[in-house]
Amino acid sequence: MYQTKTLLTIKEASQWASNFLKREISESNISYLVQYGKVRKYNGGNCALIDLNDLKYYYQSFRGWREISWKRKLGEDLNWNLSFDYLKEKDTTKHVHRLHPYKGKFIPQLVQYFIDNHTDDFKKDVYFKPGDIILDPFLGSGTTLVQANEMGMHSIGVDISRFNCLIAETKLLDYDFISLEKEIKKIQKAIVEFETESNIEGFEGELLFKLAEFNKKYFPSPEFKYKVNRKQIEEGKYGTEKEQEFLSIYNHLVKKYQIELNHVSSQNFLEKWYIKNVKKEIDFVFNLIKKVEDKKNKKILAVILSRTIRSCRATTHSDLATLKEPQVFTYYCWKHKKICKPIFSIKTWFNRYANDTLYRLKTFSKLKMDSYYTIISADSRTVNIFKEIEKRNNKFYHLLLKNKIQGIFTSPPYVGQIDYHEQHAYAYDLFEFQRKDELEIGPLYKGKGFEARTAYVEGVSKVLLNCRNFLAKEFDVFLVANDKYNLYPEIAQQAGMKIINQFRRPVLNRTERDKSPYSETIFHLKNGK
């Protein structure tokens, strides 16, 4: 039966959605739905209008009833308060937490929930207080250490990956921002001058014009996205047809401007996954960074370059997190619903990430507390934390001897899910860091079979056993894991600990294409002896 349209302004839609869902839905949230074709836009003269029926359909089918649906599939013990579904992405990636991409990290609010010393309606127990020392033996990108610092706690992070340690360290360093900005501007100017020596600028200018013209005609936004969402267009067939149609235009421009692509057969990561000009620019900028005298500036510039080259790999946008095959031709993009192109210069991305990094570092610098932190690149199963800190910071060492470590908040690798060195292969190739893949616990390349799970239990148990040497007698350990194989009771037993509580939380914002209901468990362990 036909429903009469009830057209609302963006502001009215925001108010309606807030009342309907019983929580604040901003005007920017509604604009996002329009932009990505979730709801149709109607012309209202000076303002955009949307149909109330469209809006109701979207929220009823997805957002509004998600909690009920997930609990039905995953169990009523799911703690929805730990979903943090009221937060926007800018909150979960606040300040330095988005300094560099990293697979498998948890959101800062999860750390804060368990280690913050304030109480609320949902959390009555207090585990840590300002001045305590927190350990993360699977440091990753440093989320626990950053949050500990923000809350006035001292922290220690250990990771087998040298690059992980570099990411975490650059988040916590104190910078001379005037000096850093000067170095950034110098490199930005040098990239522009370097690029003018090639014909890339003319090629990209004409390619972008042709792409804009083609996409406007065949993939009008947001109308095309709306039709795809409503299954009015067979996306795969249509996208492939238009991809082939534009390819002849692209090949003509490549030939016209004599653009070199790359050696797709090369085993070297940087040679295989980058267009020739991008590889030249990467080498050029890295040589400039090597000459920077200030060590802190040099480190953060290296991280900016790493973040840049990750975005400039010759791959499709939807395969950026998990590379498949080099993409050196234009293609139909499943993520953006239009024809997209490979990256031919790092200039735009370096500028964007340099400015974003400065903003994030400056924002965090206003929140930082005068707390100690130490980052150790080592194997958590064997490292002597006391000795390592004695080498680095004598004051912190004596505090550590006196108070010991009050507890752990960490997320061990999930068995058979991620190769932690390989996800940053581009950085290891560029910086010539030594890789220690063989020392990873539960890596993807070892699979999820019986032997892999047995080795995983042994590995995580050994980490906890070693950490016990440095913990206070009455410690609290929090482990974030997706324990689908029920391994953590055995891990706790082997480590001489006992699980005293478990908190199951829904994971709402996953980067994978698979958006099916998914949860993880925060295990709370204490001394079992």
Residue 200 lies in a domain: yes
Q: Which residue has the higher pLDDT, 29 or 131?
A: 131
Verify that 259 and 277 share a domain, yes or no. yes
Residue 102 lies in a domain: no
Q: What is the mean pLDDT of the chain?
A: 90
Average pLDDT over residues 230-247: 94
Verify that 59 and 155 share a domain, yes or no. no
Structure tokens at 164: 């992980």
DSSP 61: I
Taking the C-alpha atoms of residue 349 and residue 307, their distance in angstroms, rounded to an integer, is 9
Verify that 434 and 463 share a domain, yes or no. yes
The predicted structure's pLDDT at residue 123:
47
Q: What are phi and psi of 494, to 5 degrees?
A: -65, -30
Residue 77: pLDDT over 90: no
Residue 101 lies in a domain: no
Q: Pairing state of beta strands 154-159 and 133-136?
A: parallel
Per-residue model confidence as pLDDT tens digits over 169-214: 999 999 999 999 999 999 999 998 887 667 888 999 999 999 999 9
Verify that 381 and 501 share a domain, yes or no. yes
Domain boundary among the residues 304, 333, 362 is at 362
Name the one residue in this structure whose structure tokens are 């994030």.
360
Verify that 192 and 317 share a domain, yes or no. yes
Verify that 235 and 289 share a domain, yes or no. yes
- Binned at pLDDT 50, 70 and 90, residue 33 comes out as confident
Per-residue model confidence as pLDDT tens digits over 412-463: 999 999 999 999 999 999 999 999 999 999 999 999 999 999 999 999 999 9
Verify that 154 and 194 share a domain, yes or no. no
Verify that 384 and 354 share a domain, yes or no. no
Helix, strand or coil for residue 51? Answer: strand
Residue 493 lies in a domain: yes
Q: How many domains does the chain have?
A: 3
Domain boundary among the residues 308, 337, 362 is at 362
Q: Which domain holds residue 213?
A: 177-362
Please state the pTM of the whole predicted model.
Answer: 0.85
CB of 419 closer than 8 Å to CB of 444: yes
Verify that 22 and 148 share a domain, yes or no. no
Residue 103 lies in a domain: no
Structure tokens at 9: 């302004």
Structure tokens at 442: 């539960």
Residue 1 lies in a domain: no
Residue 133 lies in a domain: yes
